Structure 1
């Protein structure tokens, strides 16, 4: 172990004291060490919130889907922009201190648009994963590049971008995708931890409606894509330290289970899957399992928790018999070695795009008078899963926080209407947890999906390739639901329905307030106990990023990135919006 790493480990208890002091600001992606997105600040409360007004705003000049969580440390706000520029701002005034411009490798296809979900900051550097698959470190004081690590290169040194299907080969299906990074990294004991996305192969089908905000996602059998991973790099140099592949080389077929952990029957022909297993010995190489969510870390046990995406090819399962471990799972790793401790597969042999996309949060639950260290995750399935974080055992799952219909049903030629579908449930949006009140707050989506089976003609009158698609149904009612769930029982305490599906995340505070944003440009504040709407702030673009709260010189601020989301049809912009109480 290098000297700097050793020193960090030795004095880690001292740094914890400093980290706790920093919690009045926003030092890490999840706000505190448990990633609860819960602020201890109380200056803004039920009695004062009507005096909340704009304090400052920053416009970046880049109008695009904006999902970043700002980091606030030492009175400085560090903010990643779409396409991976980074700015350091005075957190009190919004004045720009420095700006880094990222030179993207334009020959690489972006997997998931220009959005970046944030940076990590230590005493030396600002770290960011990029849409072109790199992990970079910037000098914290100047913004100058300290090191640049290409993390998506394969062992051969050749970029393993996801393959392209041409029109001439696949009829109406076209497009390409690539491996990149969306998650905010974590810094832990001298390591920078990051994962890649875009490996759960899927393409888009040509749409006659060019103005539709959401197109169809299709799945076609074949050897497309690669497997995902989560990895750690030396914080000082960028040198690789360990890597956990989200698809194991051996036994990725698992136990051939027939139900979900909750007991729902899966439409699998296990006998057939076992019979064709030998025909696909290399299927794991293309197995998918993107790492979407910034890990949460239990510092008492050095255990890291994160979620994985769907298997590849997406939806089409004929070339991937078995459970497809460790896709659509919550995984616990040793944070210092990357060795797996346990996994919990929410949806074995996933056919519906039920990625574990929302980041996990850590808290303690009371079950029959016994205090249990737990982990909670808001699933795309519409259930909030609560696990024993030491063992991975499911303690319970919540009541459904969004409507559910035809889940775990197969596609049909006429179309099977299912919800939640590939959008969730809850999508990548982080939850917040108010441990004192015993509540978790979830930003939810109700948007029915049409799951269809297609057959493309070969042009000579004979039947061609079969494929499936999932299309959001824009002509039926779709909306958002902010839900408060009792973390000890899984029961819904209250819900608030919003006109737009909720995408962005939630903030709670010790004053008993809950904040979330809407695609129509509103930032909403609620009473944590009752769900009563107390206040609305406004922006010129969609508020589709997680809000935060921080304190500078005794004054509390509420801040959120506002750049909309093109995929959902929410108006794009380039704003960082900040509110505070009148002086």
Structure 2
């Protein structure tokens, strides 16, 4: 018996040593093919995490919104920088191996700032979508351009003049301007990516230069264009298929008044139907940006992704109907782009409730039967769960942020509601630990005022009504990191942070959960109870997803610290990396 116990102990020790010593990569945007952002690394744990120290820092030289997820393959870190520059770094010390400098097209107008959310690496190539709507393949060895494709051509949307509107809030910083923010995904020799900026709306600066977003404004009319997701041959960039995120026929849908998950929508269905004939071409400008990297079920070949709000944003009078497939979770065939199913979280969305956070795949048991599931953390403040084979709605979680006056329409006096256009869960990816049966969500609580306005007739221009959604005093905002049981939808624990959480989450087999704060720190929590165990200071806001990887027996934690002007967080230009001494 003693020999058997000794043998078992030796085997366990050997397994643990191998686990601690083997290299662990972060090969794709979501960490693994399921988008779990959960690493098997166990070297850093709740006992020793307080000993984390800076290992190395990379200075990008560009002080701007830095949202990228680094990719680590064969000891090399590939990192997209703001404005679509790319670097390859030695992942053990940050030494730059090569740098690609991107040249934006001369007439480019960005809708959403300089941020890029990452690259994809495969077959000796590095693939990146750009804010000027190009898809580029670089040589992974030296960063030279292999091919460069314009994804959208000349149709980049229709602009609306802002005279008389911006004066009430500040200068306009975003309109319709087609680009690409997501990291690509690779499948069966194809690079798959979607476009953003197609849902027309104005992002207006606050009068105070150091303050966050002043307002988002929606104006009725035929502005913007339809979005799409497309696949390109990874060898030459030739388009293989395209799926438009706007349904061409019957985009008005069924005029849904109550969603399958039980939300009553304040819609005047009779008026919408009466005005339908006047807006027959509204679908051509329908919006539906594709913000987040799709996840592909490798067993079925089905690709899942979320879509943005309809266009124009927050103003539904010129787009009667459900506006399919906007503000939806969609499934298409990854080989052909053929439609499989969709679930529209918010039909006829008037609140900017994009399906922005990337979906995640996992398995659950329903009525004693195993079910392949897909989950998505909504701007609405619920984690939605579906049968990923057919999109059947299974449940939504307890609300992970406070909810008040949701789905109410704007008034001239203004309605206070939350969550609003900022979320809930914004674009931040979740982390999911199937062993602990938990999903970890970083979210925003920031009340907004939803108002109706009228621009008076002047200079030959008619009077025009429009709506605005403006964040209230930042002192009323905060962040919530939430652990939710994926079998029941119940909240296990929550941690409230001083600032709204925007960036993303990492979990590890070592029992830790990491996320960043806009005031300038990366935080580590005990995965079991949410206790804050450690914080690493950064020189700017941490508003990007952290990752971890292991080389030569040493585990590293890395995150981009570039701040976020939209939320009023200090900007910077560094990637910071920590490890145990």
Name the TM-score class by shorter chain.
Answer: over 0.9
SS of equivalent to 1:215: strand
Q: More displaced, 410-419 or 470-479?
A: 470-479
Does residue 444 of structure 2 align to residue 440 of structure 1? no
Q: Contact conserved, 1:523 with 1:536, CA < 8 A, in 2?
A: yes
SS of equivalent to 2:213: coil
5 Å matches for 1:142-291?
142-153=142-153, 158-167=154-163, 175=172, 176-204=175-203, 207-291=206-290
TM-score of the superposed pair, with normalisation by structure 1: 0.93
- Displacement of 1:208: 4.1
Q: Contact conserved, 2:157 with 2:223, CA < 8 A, in 1?
A: no
Cα distance change on mapping 1:22 and 1:69 into 2, 3 Å: farther
TM-score of the superposed pair, with normalisation by structure 2: 0.93
For residue 511 of structure 1, what is the aligned residue in structure 2? 510
Distance 2:166 2:496 in 1: 41
- Displacement of 1:475: 5.0
5 Å matches for 1:65-464?
65-153=65-153, 158-167=154-163, 175=172, 176-204=175-203, 207-459=206-458, 464=463
For residue 580 of structure 1, what is the aligned residue in structure 2? 579
**Aligned residues between the structures:** 558
Distance 2:157 2:279 in 1: 21
Distance 2:491 2:23 in 1: 28
Q: Contact conserved, 1:172 with 1:206, CA < 8 A, in 2?
A: no
SS of equivalent to 1:526: strand
Q: Contact conserved, 2:428 with 2:503, CA < 8 A, in 1?
A: yes
Q: More displaced, 567-576 or 229-238?
A: 567-576
Distance 2:117 2:532 in 1: 27
Q: Contact conserved, 1:542 with 1:570, CA < 8 A, in 2?
A: yes
Distance 1:538 1:556 in 2: 19
Which digits, 9 at most, give the CA deviation of each residue in 1:21-79, with x for residues without a partner?
Answer: 99921000000010100001101112221221111110010010000000000000000
Cα distance change on mapping 1:502 and 1:169 into 2, 3 Å: closer
SS of equivalent to 2:569: coil
For residue 3 of structure 1, what is the aligned residue in structure 2? none
Query: Cα RMSD between the aligned structures?
Result: 1.8
Does residue 46 of structure 2 align to residue 50 of structure 1? no
- Displacement of 1:167: 1.7
Does residue 520 of structure 2 align to residue 524 of structure 1? no
Distance 2:30 2:166 in 1: 43
SS of equivalent to 1:567: helix
SS of equivalent to 2:514: strand
- Displacement of 1:369: 3.1
Q: Contact conserved, 2:440 with 2:484, CA < 8 A, in 1?
A: yes
Cα distance change on mapping 1:370 and 1:97 into 2, 3 Å: same
Cα distance change on mapping 1:472 and 1:336 into 2, 3 Å: same
- Displacement of 1:105: 1.1
Does residue 579 of structure 2 align to residue 566 of structure 1? no
For residue 466 of structure 1, what is the aligned residue in structure 2? 465
SS of equivalent to 1:167: coil
Q: Contact conserved, 1:162 with 1:179, CA < 8 A, in 2?
A: no
Cα distance change on mapping 1:275 and 1:574 into 2, 3 Å: same
Q: Contact conserved, 1:86 with 1:99, CA < 8 A, in 2?
A: yes
- Displacement of 1:541: 0.7
Which digits, 9 at most, give the CA deviation of each residue in 1:303-346, with x for residues without a partner?
Answer: 00000000001111111010000000000010000011000000
- Displacement of 1:444: 0.7
| Structure 1, unaligned runs of 5 or more | 1-20
- Displacement of 1:512: 1.1
For residue 555 of structure 1, what is the aligned residue in structure 2? 554
- Displacement of 1:169: 9.7
Distance 2:397 2:85 in 1: 39
SS of equivalent to 1:225: coil
For residue 11 of structure 1, what is the aligned residue in structure 2? none
- Displacement of 1:474: 2.1
For residue 13 of structure 2, what is the aligned residue in structure 1? none
SS of equivalent to 1:578: strand
Cα distance change on mapping 1:88 and 1:270 into 2, 3 Å: same
SS of equivalent to 1:249: coil
Cα distance change on mapping 1:426 and 1:170 into 2, 3 Å: closer
| Structure 2, unaligned runs of 5 or more | 1-20
Distance 1:579 1:217 in 2: 37
- Displacement of 1:281: 1.1
For residue 533 of structure 1, what is the aligned residue in structure 2? 532
Distance 2:480 2:317 in 1: 35
Which digits, 9 at most, give the CA deviation of each residue in 1:121-159, with x for residues without a partner?
Answer: 002210000001100000010100110010021xxxx24
Cα distance change on mapping 1:211 and 1:553 into 2, 3 Å: closer
Q: Contact conserved, 2:525 with 2:533, CA < 8 A, in 1?
A: yes
